[in-house]
Amino acid sequence: MRQFHGAAGQLLPREGNLTRMREGHYSGRLQHVARHLVANGPNHRSNIADGLDHIFGIFRTSAGRLKRLDVIFAAWPWLPHALLGWTGSTQFLRFLNMHLANRGLVRTNHHLYSKTTMQPVPGITDEAGIFAAAGLPYRGPEDRHCP
């Protein structure tokens, strides 16, 4: 395992940390996801919620309170889709997914797919592109909550 460094010095210790950084992990991942979708369909749930690498942790604030910390690793082409999936409330995402289904689209945390071709919708480079493909005005992360 490589030792990673940040601006302030060592980010992860060489020994004793609970995570393993895997270099080159995403090479061939897109082809794997495509094969999985063809075999199982876009609504199939695997044992991992969204197929993205995660680090779930807890940190202690300077006041001594414990806070949850979720670190999600996404390949660059998946970033807008992963951001949308991780910043929207569950109910907001349900409504969005139902709206997309009515338009013949399926959203995952990897891509927005056409139901007819099972191919990713081209040209989506940011979250606003997903909303545009859905025919909806863009809503920022702070406005993606439903009661």
For the stretch 78-108, pLDDT in tens is 899 989 988 888 899 999 999 999 999 999 8
For 5-143, CATH number? 3.30.210.10
Q: What are the extents of the domains in the chain? A: 5-143
Contacts of residue 127, defined as CB under 8 A and 6 or more positions apart, other chains included, come to 80, 83, 84, 138
pLDDT for 2: 41
List the structure tokens of 24.
């080159």
Q: Model confidence at 6, in pLDDT bands (50, 70, 90)? A: very low
- The Cα–Cα gap between 81 and 105 comes to 13
Contacts of residue 61, defined as CB under 8 A and 6 or more positions apart, other chains included, come to 67
pLDDT for 11: 44
Q: Which residue has the higher pLDDT, 27 or 136?
A: 136
